[in-house]
Structure 1
Amino acid sequence: MNGDPGARRPNILWISTHDINPDLGAYAGVWPGADAARTPNLDRLAAEGVRFDQAFATTPVCAPSRSALMTGCHPISIGTHNMRTKAVPPPEVRLLSEYFRMAGYYATNNWFTDLQVHLPGTAFDECSDTAHWRGRPDVETPFFAVFHGMATHEAQLYLADAEFDRITAGLPEAHRHDPASVPVPPYHLDTPEFRKAWARYHDLVSVMDAWAGGLLRQLDDDGLADDTIVVFWSDHGAGLPRMKRAATEAGLRVPMIVRWPARLAGGQVRTDVVHLADLGPTMLTLAGLPVPEHVQFSPLFDGEGRPVEQGEYAFGGRDRMDEQQDSSRTVRDERYRLIRHRHPDRSPLQYQHFADRFPTWRALRTAVNGEARQRAAGLVPDVMTPVQRRATGPGKPELEHTRGNDHLGAGVAARNHPQ
């Protein structure tokens, strides 16, 4: 696995966040409402690198998605598909960082390790909240450094006001969002709970952008920008109902940006359908290292940085989410998404202890209960719209197919919808 010991290998910096769609200014015109938040640092990164417009996670929740990214294998093939488990993958499966360490890289992780497997001792040189490429033994040692930002995690949307004010203290007033005017997608209720969550979501995307900008400045200060492959990505879609945990466009569509001034021309836009987990074999290929035979995803570039044509489809799905027992599979091409629900008799809004604490989930429960009371009184239910009922009903279609970019859910065609 060591390759050519005399070759100078590129450094690699991964900047990852939780729970966002392509809601960066760089995606304006590509993703609805992408320019709502101010994201100058990541917009600049996209202008200097390659922006992927149709990148998809394998799973709409963090740990299974990250397991795919770090192993190069679909979660369903190595047992990491159920959220909250400690799988034992086949013996040939290693974490990506292990391959880099065997090739002489200094590998760090700051600090998130929710990968669905027991973290082997060989995974990183340092794994802590202080892990940093600056800890490597000397400046000639290449590094693979991973930073996981928590600013946009769904739980942050619902912090107490004083705590939210604290973590957004550096955000200029002009960059804050007014709940009264923030757009709300049609599958969400137009209520104070959802408006506040959406306003905070865009505020936190800007906070995350400032954090990412700090890492990029450190790279510049160290004189490493030209020799370092920088990748920005999110693990899955936004942390709101019918998005996170749902095998929908909004659950799986993610931002993904790759910059390497030494080899990749800036300002490129890739519109082909790709998997987020393609990043693993891509990094190995760009570093001149072999991709193990068992890896199921594909390099996005060849060793010279030339684009590699991908397959026609991106595959994904969801399985158990903590106590939610459900399973769906989905496939996406450049134009359409098809979803097959394996349990159409189960509600898309099953109880989920972690998420049901949040005001948006409680607001949906209240609306469902309100319509039940209307029916009991012999009234026509009018608390929700048809799109909202579809997201909260007692069952769901066996099949759903939509236009690929229709994350708003207004154009769903269904078959075998439970009555």
Structure 2
Amino acid sequence: MFHPRVPLVAALVLSLFGTPAVADRPNILVVIGDDIGWKDYGCYGHPSIRTPNIDALAAAGLKFTNAFLTTSSCSPSRISILSGRYPHQTGAEDLHMRLPAGGVFISTPLRKAGYFTGHMLKTHYGPNGMKQFDWYGKGVKEFGKFLDKAEAKPFFMWVGFRDAHRPYKAGALKPPHDPAQVVVPPFLVDTLSTRRDLALYYDEIGRMDRDIGRLLDELKKRGRFKNTLVVFLGDNGEPFPRAKGTVYDSGIGTPLVVCWPGQIAAAGVHNGLTSVIDLAPTFAEVAGIRKPSTMVGRSLLPVLKDPSQPGREFIFAERNWHNADEHIRCVRTRTHKLITNAYLDRPFGHPADCSRSPSWKDLLAARAGGRITGDQLQIFRVPRPAVELYNAARDPGEFHNLADQPASSGIRKRLEQALETWRQQTKDFPASRRRRADNVDRVTGVKFTRTIGPQVKEGKPKPLR
């Protein structure tokens, strides 16, 4: 049961932010990009991607520089954020799994507390998730209709953008980004077709930014912007090889910008470790309601008030079935990351949209022609290491595995203990418990069927037909 009465600690914090009454509680607008990299915005230092509206939010609010997702897979990530639980806790850890009966999104206690709740565009969480909102809209242009419906009530709005999910085509943004000006990450091959692929991706980010501006303009026109907590983030990494679907920073790192006029100081920066598992509890505290007992995160309100506060000691993430089955877990500190892999005899299973891309085809061609670098070759290696350990501060690309280095034995032991404790506390399942058949070829990247195989417990998965 959710009590409208505010707990003492929450009341003290909320009094500092001036939200004492239901009518005065802030609106909450969450905008989440689809398949967007964590540093691909002007405010995060990207030299060529045009994101004026996101940059303006960061200038007016708080930018998190070390924010991380709980997984790098579309539906499991969104369900995790909305429920405040890790994917393996939600019962929807695999791609396309629906939120089970009994799963609770933050929209439900907010609605009980008097909020008018809505979501737009991409959902990807199934009927039980859909029914936990009062309103649904198919496009940004309908935001005004939602505000009309909300009337004077505080609102919670979740905008699930489809940008920058593949497939791409020219014309998403005018003028388009110049392939000559893109930044090719070291895990991709620097070819014209890869540059064009990246430029189209940039265009989709630019289009999303334009639509974010339209949402904000509507709020300002109606005089509701100043009492709205705006949060911008992504659901998983950019849709390129060794990014989306991985637990490298390129996969689980996310932009996180929070703007709340008059409550959060402008141009703030928080460099501490942050997990999106903490967003739902933050929304609960902002709204003056008790955090649901199912949520495992903690409120970020103290950090919003004082960005100099330290962040988390550890963040945790996982990868399960996403076109190919995986059981990968990771723990990260400010300086190091440890990854455990279960299926060592197979190459890494990329999401199908990544392995259909021109960038993937260029990697295959470079490998066949002997023109590939050691860093680019890592995603093809078999057997894979059971444990990976990286010094993220010195090796941000996570290319140099230190797991077997004697000098790294101390940090490896510490992180292995932290990961095991987290797995026990969150009741994570072992790799041996269940498997699901792949529907994409791990070597060629070809998706050979749209069928999703059943989970098979304590055994080998049946072949797809």
Aligned partners of 2:248, 2:396: CA distance in 1, in Å? 7
Cα distance, 1:352 vs. partner? 5.2
**Corresponding position: 1:111 with 2:100:** no
Give the letter aligned to residue 132 of structure 1.
Answer: F
Aligned partners of 1:236, 1:83: CA distance in 2, in Å? 12
Going from structure 1 to structure 2, the CA distance change for 1:260 and 1:412 (only over 3 Å counts) comes to same
Aligned counterpart for 1:397 among listed residues 370, 378, 385: 385
Give the letter aligned to residue 312 of structure 2.
Answer: G
Aligned partners of 2:276, 2:150: CA distance in 1, in Å? 31
Going from structure 1 to structure 2, the CA distance change for 1:208 and 1:339 (only over 3 Å counts) comes to same
**Corresponding position: 1:16 with 2:15:** no
Q: Residue 64 of structure 1: SS of its match in structure 2?
A: helix
Cα distance, 1:248 vs. partner? 0.6
Consecutive unaligned residues in structure 1, runs of 5 or more = 29-33, 372-381
What is the match of residue 297 of structure 2? 297
What is the match of residue 82 of structure 1? 94
Aligned partners of 2:380, 2:68: CA distance in 1, in Å? 24
Cα distance, 1:351 vs. partner? 6.7
| Contact in 1 for aligned 2:240/2:357 (Cα 8 Å) | no
What is the match of residue 344 of structure 1? 344
- Deviation string, structure 1 residues 22-76 (Cα, Å, up to 9, x no partner): 2111112xxxxx2321211111100111111100011111111111101111011
| Contact in 2 for aligned 1:132/1:145 (Cα 8 Å) | no
**Corresponding position: 1:409 with 2:398:** yes
**Corresponding position: 1:95 with 2:95:** no
Give the letter aligned to residue 228 of structure 1.
Answer: T
Aligned partners of 1:306, 1:287: CA distance in 2, in Å? 19
Q: Residue 256 of structure 2: SS of its match in structure 1?
A: strand
Aligned partners of 2:267, 2:150: CA distance in 1, in Å? 33
What is the match of residue 245 of structure 1? 245
Aligned partners of 1:287, 1:306: CA distance in 2, in Å? 19
What is the match of residue 60 of structure 1? 72
Aligned partners of 1:320, 1:304: CA distance in 2, in Å? 35
Q: Residue 390 of structure 2: SS of its match in structure 1?
A: strand
What is the match of residue 39 of structure 1? 51
Consecutive unaligned residues in structure 2, runs of 5 or more = 6-19, 406-465
Going from structure 1 to structure 2, the CA distance change for 1:46 and 1:352 (only over 3 Å counts) comes to closer
Aligned counterpart for 2:44 among listed residues 27, 30, 40: 27
Going from structure 1 to structure 2, the CA distance change for 1:118 and 1:395 (only over 3 Å counts) comes to farther
**How is 1:110-149 mapped onto 2 (pairs within 5 angstroms)?**
110-115=120-125, 117-120=126-129, 122-130=131-139, 132=143, 134-135=145-146, 136-137=148-149, 139-149=151-161
Give the letter aligned to residue 127 of structure 2.
Answer: H
Going from structure 1 to structure 2, the CA distance change for 1:303 and 1:203 (only over 3 Å counts) comes to closer
Give the letter aligned to residue 43 of structure 1.
Answer: D
Cα distance, 1:306 vs. partner? 5.2
Aligned partners of 1:305, 1:258: CA distance in 2, in Å? 11
Q: Percent identity?
A: 29
Q: Residue 40 of structure 2: SS of its match in structure 1?
A: coil
What is the match of residue 364 of structure 1? 363
Aligned partners of 1:268, 1:304: CA distance in 2, in Å? 9
- Deviation string, structure 1 residues 116-151 (Cα, Å, up to 9, x no partner): x53356411112315536434453211111212223
Going from structure 1 to structure 2, the CA distance change for 1:38 and 1:180 (only over 3 Å counts) comes to closer
| Contact in 2 for aligned 1:17/1:235 (Cα 8 Å) | yes
Q: CA RMSD in A?
A: 2.4
What is the match of residue 211 of structure 2? 211
Aligned partners of 1:317, 1:415: CA distance in 2, in Å? 22
| Contact in 1 for aligned 2:344/2:382 (Cα 8 Å) | no
Which stretch of the first structure deviates more once superposed, 186-195 or 287-296?
Answer: 186-195
| Contact in 1 for aligned 2:327/2:341 (Cα 8 Å) | yes
Going from structure 1 to structure 2, the CA distance change for 1:87 and 1:172 (only over 3 Å counts) comes to closer
| Contact in 1 for aligned 2:239/2:353 (Cα 8 Å) | no
- Deviation string, structure 1 residues 323-373 (Cα, Å, up to 9, x no partner): x1222111111111111111222202x3754443322223333444x26xx
TM-score of the pair, normalised by structure 2: 0.76
TM-score of the pair, normalised by structure 1: 0.84
Cα distance, 1:267 vs. partner? 1.6
Aligned partners of 2:233, 2:203: CA distance in 1, in Å? 18
Q: Residue 277 of structure 1: SS of its match in structure 2?
A: helix
Q: Residue 154 of structure 1: SS of its match in structure 2?
A: coil
Give the letter aligned to residue 9 of structure 1.
Answer: R
Aligned partners of 1:304, 1:230: CA distance in 2, in Å? 12
- Deviation string, structure 1 residues 265-301 (Cα, Å, up to 9, x no partner): 2221111101123111111111111101221111111
Aligned partners of 2:287, 2:114: CA distance in 1, in Å? 11
Q: Residue 226 of structure 1: SS of its match in structure 2?
A: coil
Aligned partners of 1:234, 1:16: CA distance in 2, in Å? 5
